[in-house]
Structure 1
Amino acid sequence: MNAKGMVFKYGDNVDTDVIIPARYLNVSSGEELAKYCMIDIDADFVNKAKTGDIIVATKNFGCGSSREHAPLAIKCAGISCVIATTFARIFYRNAINIGLPILECDEAANDIENGDEVSVDFDSGIITNITKDKTYQAQPFPEFMKAIMAAGGLVEQTKERVKG
């Protein structure tokens, strides 16, 4: 599993209220949530983001409330991966549960810039900044996380297992 796209770069403490503002939480479909993704921090994000693009941020990405809507909005907006120095723990778990790949890598998060083209090899954890011709090493996903993401999330993986 791999990702490749243009980077949207944000700073520290990007909270779930910025990722998907509370005023849009009456929406339940991921496709509808995606229309409002990042609207309060980057009003033009949904018009600029293309399928496969990557979000990079620094410390504590996804802090705030425990809403699963935040990683779902990101995933449904076409973002293939989020790279950050650190993630809020509940966001981290919610992202894995819905099948949104996220990687912690301090060096990549601090060095990669808005607009850079980046590729990610999830099996090895290698992040390549194509624009700067640099590589960074993140922790690769354990096998159980790879299986969850390959299935499209924990619910989909469970459905597959139940079908047997």
Structure 2
Amino acid sequence: MNAQGFAHKYGDNVDTDVIIPARHLNTADHKELASHCMEDIDAGFKDKVKEGDIMVAGFNFGCGSSREHAPIAIKESGISCVIAKTFARIFYRNAINIGLAILECEEASSDISDGDQVSVNFDTGVITNETKNKTYQAQPFPDFIKDIITKGGLLNSIQK
């Protein structure tokens, strides 16, 4: 299980209301949610993100409300993995529950720049910044979390 794409970099304390503004929560359509992902801090995000890209952020990513809409919008936008210094705990669990790969790695988060080509090996936890030819070590997922992410979320992993 691996991810590879360009980095979209954000700062500390990116809350769920920034990830998907509350004014767009009147839909359950995942594509519609994705079309508004990050729009209040990065108006061009939906036009520049490509399938497989990687989001990079600072401390406390996903703070705020406990809504699952935030990780759903990120995943549906095409982001294959979020790397941050730390995650808000409820966002961390919601991301795993819907099958969005997330890794905490302070060194990678600090060093990766917007637009860098990044790859992630989920089996080893190695994050590679292809642009800067540097590697970073995150804690790899335990097998049960890899299974949840591979199957597209908790409900899918239970059903299969």
Q: Give the drift of 1:159.
A: 1.6
Aligned twin of 2:7: 7
Between the aligned partners of 2:29 and 2:125, the Cα distance in structure 1 is 31
**What percentage of aligned pairs have identical amino acids?**
69
Aligned twin of 1:60: 60
Between the aligned partners of 1:112 and 1:151, the Cα distance in structure 2 is 28
Partner SS for 1:8: strand
Give 1:155's aligned amino acid: L
Give 1:85's aligned amino acid: K
- Mapping for residues 56-95 of structure 1, pairs under 5 Å: 56-95=56-95
2:121 is equivalent to residue 114 of structure 1: no
Aligned twin of 1:35: 35
Runs (4+) of structure 1 moved beyond 3 Å? none
User: TM-score if structure 2 supplies the norm length?
Assistant: 0.99
Partner SS for 2:55: strand
Provide, for residues 122-151 of structure 1, a one-character-per-residue CA deviation record: whole Å limited to 9, x for no partner: 000000000000000000000110010111
Which residues of structure 2 form unaligned runs of 5+?
Answer: none
Give 2:132's aligned amino acid: K
Aligned twin of 1:46: 46
Which residues of structure 1 form unaligned runs of 5+?
Answer: none
Between the aligned partners of 1:51 and 1:29, the Cα distance in structure 2 is 18
Between the aligned partners of 1:60 and 1:4, the Cα distance in structure 2 is 23
Aligned Cα root-mean-square deviation (Å): 0.5
Paired residues, number: 160
Q: Give the drift of 1:43.
A: 0.5
User: TM-score if structure 1 supplies the norm length?
Assistant: 0.97
